[in-house]
Amino acid sequence: MPYIATSDGAQIFYKDWGAGRPVVFSHGWPLNADAWDNQVMLLASNGFRAIAHDRRGHGRSTQTWNGNTMDQYADDLAEVIDQLGLTDAIVVGHSTGGGEVTRYLGRHGTSRVAKAVLVGAVPPLMLKTDTNPEGTPLEAFDAIRAGLAADRSQFYRDLSAPFYGANRPGSTVSQGMRDQFWLLSMQVGLKAAYDCVKEFSETDFTEDLKRIDIPVFVAHGDDDQIVPIQAAAPKTVQLLKDATLKVYPGASHGIVGAYEAALNADLLAFIRA
């Protein structure tokens, strides 16, 4: 399997499909690159080189004890892009991956990247604070950590319902989709999963967003139960220099069903434009 060796010795797995202009995908917590398979296959089938990596601690990448931080995630993404020699790339991040992409662009600049896409992304800040009253209370993230520590397998099974909106009346989300979420989630190391909760919830991306000088497509479902929209996408576009916001009515956090079909079309259109 293909790997990138980082400067601290970690091995970062990546899949590299197709040929053409590179599009690099960063996945959400607690998943891995396989969560992007439909989009990677779509782009590789339409003349692009689609690349998706497993964040350290997740999937097939090294389960490091240290380094489960947003800065390190961004540095790992930079090493993937640099070592593969990518230029004029498009970077795409979902959820925590959207934070990873944002921190990468704020920390490493845009010399190798022409466009970015943030989907259901955690920036600017998920945590509720005095200056971010629309955010999610700390107690909710403490409950996530407690669930991981007590019985992570059952926790992931339960989390799959709000993740895909399977707890909503009339949901058509399949059991297979929920099972896939559980399967990918069980491949992240417990330490990495636990550490990452703090990183996606408490990292403030405000200054990163202000530094980004390329076009960014911001997509968010208005029924996102994991990263509620009111603290996320509308605030993000206000901080970006060149942003397009699209809100998907009734869409969940997980990319599935009619939401996935619409997002795939929009993603392809934005990348081709």
pLDDT at 41: 98
DSSP 8-state secondary structure symbol assigned to residue 84: T
Average pLDDT over residues 173-201: 98
Tell me if residue 20 falls in helix, strand or coil.
coil
Token match 């403030």: residue? Answer: 204
pLDDT tens digits for 92-121?
999 999 999 999 999 999 999 999 999 999
Q: To which CATH superfamily is domain 3-272 assigned? A: Alpha/Beta hydrolase fold, catalytic domain (3.40.50.1820)
pLDDT tens digits for 129-168?
999 999 999 999 999 999 999 999 999 999 999 999 999 9
Under the banding of pLDDT at 50, 70 and 90, the label for residue 128 is very high
State which H helix or E strand residue 179 sits in: helix 175-185
Rg (CA), the chain: 17
Torsion of the alpha carbons at 248, 27, 197 and 133, rounded to the nearest 10: -30
**What's the token pair of residue 262?**
């619409």
Determine the Cα–Cα distance for residues 147 and 163; give it in Å rounded to an integer: 15
Nearest to 239 by CA among 261, 213, 257: 213
- Parallel, antiparallel, or unpaired for β 113-119 and 243-248? unpaired
pLDDT at 1: 73
Q: What is the mean pLDDT of the chain?
A: 98
**Hey, what amino acid is at 82?**
D
Burial class of residue 122 in the structure, from the number of CB atoms within 10 Å of its CB (0-12 exposed, 13-18 middle, 19+ buried) = buried
Average pLDDT over residues 87-91: 98
The dihedral sign for the CA sequence 39, 42, 48, 51: positive
pLDDT tens digits for 55-87?
999 999 999 999 999 999 999 999 999 999 999
Nearest to 119 by CA among 26, 40, 16, 241: 26
Which residues does the annotation mark as catalytic?
95, 224, 253
Average pLDDT over residues 245-267: 98
Cross-strand pairs, 118:
93, 218
pLDDT tens digits for 6-45?
999 999 999 999 999 999 999 999 999 999 999 999 999 9
Please check whether residue 257 is in contact with residue 163, taking contact to mean a CB–CB distance below 8 angstroms: no
Which residues are CB-contacts of 183 (< 8 A; sequence separation ≥ 6)? none
Cross-strand pairs, 14:
53
Cross-strand pairs, 52:
15, 25
- Chain-centroid distance of CA 127 in Å reads 17
pLDDT at 207: 98
CA 17-20-32 angle, to 5 degrees, is: 30
Work out the percent of the chain whose per-residue pLDDT is above 70. Answer: 100
Q: What is the CB-side half-sphere exposure of residue 130 using CA atoms within 13 A?
A: 0
Tell me if residue 3 falls in helix, strand or coil.
strand
